[in-house]
């Protein structure tokens, strides 16, 4: 990143709003940190926020140039990362060679992640990319793509993350819907339907095969039946109790102070934005999410060289935004990759549209 910044880059008009919102969000966090400079944890939290801010700016600028080439490279590399994560997660789940202690947590696949829920959600965009390659016939290696999809889906299944399951279903429907609606070609629409049916059939065969294993079926049944039980604890109660308190505190509680008051993390990025970053940070986060959703939807429908890529990046990011209501995603690095990709593509789209208009 330092080398890339030194070599030079261009800043397009479509990048400015993104830069302003991210900068305001970061500055709000450091302002809220002022009373707690002598505490190491809040300081480390804000340093991590600064690092993620730099990566988000970098990816936005990076994807704004040579967008198609870099976007496709990123999707391929991300999918390889998903395969590595899924394979290590599967190996860890079955404790092959004693790897369960490294690649599994509480009997659930975690791969190279600390948390199975983060691992499962990370895998989503890789699955979406494989589905799109099959659906739009954008690959010459159908067997390899299909096998990659099955491995990634197995990794998600063995994470036993209910949020990841819901996110996979939702984002897949959104991606297929965007592709189907955006194309004017009846032939391509038939192609999308056939490809989607094939991808769903592969997932169904995998699920049936894995559920034939007693230990997998029992754990999945336990996790399914436990829906709601884990959320009857103080998580949502704490969020509701915190709202009147936050209304009286323009600077919020301060970074990582929510846990000191309620003995639990906020378990909501939207609540955490106000709790850790104050009113300024909370509202800038909401505006950033809203603006990104608007830009992402437009990218998925407006005819441009970036529409196909956007139909993978944006549904995955939208899934994280929705998850943000019940889990803290604000320090998940891959979220900032997707955020930068969306705004980089938008900056490139606006720049290209301006050139074409001038011509």
Write the pLDDT tens digit of every residue in 30-69: 999 999 999 999 999 999 999 999 999 999 999 999 999 9
For the chain, the average pLDDT equals 90
Does residue 201 have a pLDDT over 90?
no
Per the structure, how many domains does the chain have? 2
Residues 103 and 143 in one domain: yes
pLDDT digits 0-9 by tens, 255-274: 999 988 888 888 899 999 99
pLDDT of residue 278: 95
Looking at the structure, tell me whether residues 167 and 283 fall in a common domain.
Answer: no
For the cut 60, the answer to whether the pLDDT of residue 230 exceeds it is no
Domain contains 55:
yes
pLDDT given at position 147: 94
pLDDT band at residue 137 under the 50/70/90 scheme: confident
Q: What single string gives the DSSP state of each residue in 222-282?
A: HHHHTTTTGGGSHHHHHHHHHHHHHHT-TT-S-TT-HHHHHSS--S-HHHHHHHHHHHHHH
Same-domain status, 218 and 85: yes
DSSP bridge pairs for 105 = 108
| 89 and 195 assigned to the same domain | yes
Q: Looking at 196, 224, 252, which one is the last position of a domain?
A: 224
The reply to whether 291 falls in a domain is yes
Please report where in the chains the tokens 């004017």 appear, as a residue: 184
Tell me how far CA of residue 67 lies from CA of 90, 314, 317, 345, 348, in angstroms: 34, 15, 18, 7, 7
In whole angstroms, what is the distance from residue 322 CA to residue 100 CA? Answer: 31
Q: Which residue in the block uniquely carries the two structure tokens 């209304």? A: 247
Q: Is residue 6 part of a domain?
A: no
Q: Has residue 232 been placed in a domain? A: no
Residue 319 has pLDDT above 90, yes or no: yes
Regarding whether 192 and 72 lie in a shared domain, the answer is yes
% of the chain with per-residue pLDDT over 90: 65
Contact 70, 58 (CB under 8 A): no
Q: Yes or no: say if 141 and 191 are a contact pair by the CB < 8 Å rule.
A: no
Does the structure show a pLDDT above 70 at 232?
no
Q: Are both 175 and 300 inside the same structural domain?
A: no
Q: Do 84 and 198 belong to one domain? A: yes
Q: Which residues pair with 109 in a beta bridge?
A: 104
Final residue in a domain of this structure, among 174, 198, 224? 224
User: Does 134 share its domain with 122?
Assistant: yes
**pLDDT number for residue 240:** 84
Tokens read off for 339: 């955020």
Residue 130 lies in a domain: yes
Residue-number span of the structural domain to which 293 is assigned = 25-64+239-359
Same domain, 296 and 341: yes
Between CA 207 and CA 225 the distance in angstroms is 18
DSSP state of 303: -
What is residue 22's predicted lDDT score, i.e. its pLDDT? 97
Which uninterrupted H or E stretch holds 28? Answer: helix 16-33
Name residue 108's beta-bridge partners.
Answer: 105
Tokens of 347: 């900056």
Mean pLDDT of 312-316: 97
Q: Which residues pair with 104 in a beta bridge?
A: 109
The β-bridge relationship of strands 104-105 and 108-109 is antiparallel
End-to-end CA distance of the chain: 34
Task: From 232, 199, 274, 354, select the one nearest 28 (Cα to Cα).
Answer: 274
pLDDT at 356: 59
Asked if residue 229 is part of any domain, the answer here is no
Domain for residue 14, yes or no?
no
The answer to whether residue 8 sits within a structural domain is: no
Q: Which of 197, 224, 251 is the last residue of a domain?
A: 224
Check whether residue 32 and residue 146 sit in a common domain: no
pTM of the shown model: 0.92
Does 82 share its domain with 49?
Answer: no
Same structural domain, 131 and 49: no
* Region 116-125 average pLDDT: 95
């Amino acid at each position: 990143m330092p080398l890339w910044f030194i070599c030079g880059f261009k800043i397009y008009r479509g990048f400015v709003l993104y830069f302003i919102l991210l900068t305001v969000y970061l500055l709000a966090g450091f302002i809220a940190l002022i009373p707690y400079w002598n505490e190491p944890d809040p300081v480390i939290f804000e340093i991590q926020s600064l690092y993620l801010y730099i990566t988000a700016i970098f990816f936005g600028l990076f994807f704004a140039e040579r967008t198609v080439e870099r976007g496709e490279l990123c999707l391929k590399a991300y999918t390889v990362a998903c395969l590595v994560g899924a394979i290590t997660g599967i190996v860890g789940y079955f404790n092959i060679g004693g790897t369960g202690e490294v690649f599994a947590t509480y009997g659930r696949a975690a791969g190279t992640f600390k948390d199975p829920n983060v691992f499962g959600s990370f895998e989503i965009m890789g699955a979406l990319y494989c589905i799109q390659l099959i659906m739009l016939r954008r690959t010459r290696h159908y067997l390899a793509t299909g096998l990659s999809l099955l491995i990634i889906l197995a990794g998600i299944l063995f994470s036993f993350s209910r949020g990841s399951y819901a996110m996979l279903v939702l984002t897949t429907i959104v991606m297929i819907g965007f592709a189907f609606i955006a194309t004017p070609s009846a032939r391509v629409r038939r192609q999308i339907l056939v490809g989607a049916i094939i991808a769903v059939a592969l997932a169904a065969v995998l699920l049936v095969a894995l559920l034939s294993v007693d230990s997998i079926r029992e754990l999945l049944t336990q996790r399914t039946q436990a829906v709601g039980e884990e959320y009857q604890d103080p998580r949502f109660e704490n969020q509701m109790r915190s709202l009147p308190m936050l209304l009286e505190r323009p600077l919020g509680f301060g970074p990582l102070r929510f846990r000191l008051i309620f003995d639990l993390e906020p378990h909501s990025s939207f609540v955490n934005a106000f709790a850790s970053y104050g009113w300024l940070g909370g509202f800038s986060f909401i505006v950033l999410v809203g603006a990104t959703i608007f830009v992402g939807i437009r990218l998925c429908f407006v005819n441009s060289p970036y529409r196909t890529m956007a139909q993978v990046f944006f549904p995955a990011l939208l899934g994280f935004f929705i998850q943000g209501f019940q889990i803290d995603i604000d320090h998940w690095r891959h979220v900032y990759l997707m955020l930068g990709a969306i705004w980089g593509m938008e900056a490139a789209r606006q720049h290209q549209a301006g050139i074409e208009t001038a011509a």
